[in-house]
Amino acid sequence: MQYSLALHTPKKKLYDRIEHLLSLAGVVLNGRRPWDIQVHNDKFYYNVMRSGSLGLGESYMNGWWDAAQLDEFICRLLRAELDAKVNSLQDVINYIGAMLINLQSPERSYEVGRKHYDIGNDLYEKMLDKRMIYSCAFWKYASTLDEAQESKLDMVCRKLELKPGMRVLDIGCGWGGMSQFAAENYGVEVLGVTISKEQASLARERCHGLPIEIRLQDYRSIDDTFDRILSLGMFEHVGYKNYRTFMQKVRNLLNEEGLFLLHTIGSNISRKTTDCWIQKYIFPNSMLPSAKQITESIEGFFVLEDWHNFGADYDKTLMHWFKNFRSSWSTLKKNYDERFFRMWKYYLLSCAGSFRARSNQLWQIVLSPRGISGGYRAHYK
């Protein structure tokens, strides 16, 4: 790691250092292009050099800088790998904490539910599609967010080869959209679990009358048997210390002839922590798995049947979420302040930029306990 802790550096040197770093990404300080940034407060320079990505995000929340096309600004930074050139003491603290503590223990697993998913169903209802699916959509055959999310849900059902009467476990069921779709269109019975009280409450309402049970429950305490198991956008909260535990638990819950579909954001590099700003403001105790970490976690438990990457689709998904969020702000601002608006905007657009830069991926992985006799046929449509 390189450290640029400019605690006593004169302001001019701070400016010159940041100007040089940004030039490596094709970004100009106070430039005129959409991805150039305009600095409104000189505290920005010190904050970024002292605190890295945390300082960049907090400075934006404070209104100290802007960029007309924030998503493209972040994309260019990541393509130039500037995130590896400016690290902070907080990065070191987070790394040590992740090494010493199980940040995703059963006791800590509900923290992300309280801090992120419970902040208000009104926000997610306005931002997401009609089924409230909070994971990457599949855009190959779609032109709207509703169509793209339904295309993804149907692809999941086909990959799992769902049949009427099957019992399905939905780990990280969110507001119940996936469970509802599978029950309505494929005639299955579903148990959905979430660590969010608000998600569980609304999911029960939305799934009323269907053969679906929604529980507020950590995956480690489930005790049952299922024909199929799926997890959409939850594995990012499991943590590297629990990957083997997660896979062993899924294996124990799955019938011998069953299938498990894992839908997760993935990292190109094996890490033990997440971005400092994301950790503090958006997803506490989260981290993105690498392909190596996933394959090591399934060894001895599963046969890898299929691995599908459509990470570029997350850029488009996030941009649609931001469009919905921005257009609904006149209503949402009754419950959220302007600082929240800038925080949420930074979250959605910086994540879009990360997928555009191909720094992050989106994987759907199909696993079987012993291998499908005659081979597995992927169902991409």
Q: Across the strands, what pairs with 247?
A: none
The two tokens of residue 305 are 């049947």
Q: What span, in angstroms and rounded, lies between the C-alpha atoms of 179 and 190?
A: 6
**Are 237 and 199 a contacting pair, CB within 8 Å?**
no
Residue 351 is among the residues annotated as catalytic for this protein: yes
**Are 302 and 260 a contacting pair, CB within 8 Å?**
yes
Helices (H), the chain: 11-24, 43-61, 70-79, 89-100, 111-112, 121-127, 145-159, 177-186, 197-206, 243-253, 276-281, 291-298, 312-327, 329-332, 338-356
**Are 306 and 333 a contacting pair, CB within 8 Å?**
no
**Are 234 and 289 a contacting pair, CB within 8 Å?**
no
Nearest to 259 by CA among 217, 305, 300: 305
109: amino acid identity, one letter: S
Selecting among 157, 173, 207, 351, the annotated active-site residue is: 351
What is the residue whose two structure tokens read 């000189």? 42
Q: If you write DSSP's letter for every residue of 52-94 in order, what string do you get?
A: HHHHHHHHHHTTSEEETTHHHHHHHHHHTTGGGT-B-HHHHHH
CB atoms within 10 A of CB 43: 14
Q: What is the dihedral of CA 129, 135, 138, 144, to 10 degrees?
A: 20
What is the residue whose two structure tokens read 């490596």? 24
Q: How many CA atoms lie within 13 A of 4 on its CB side?
A: 20
Active site members? 351
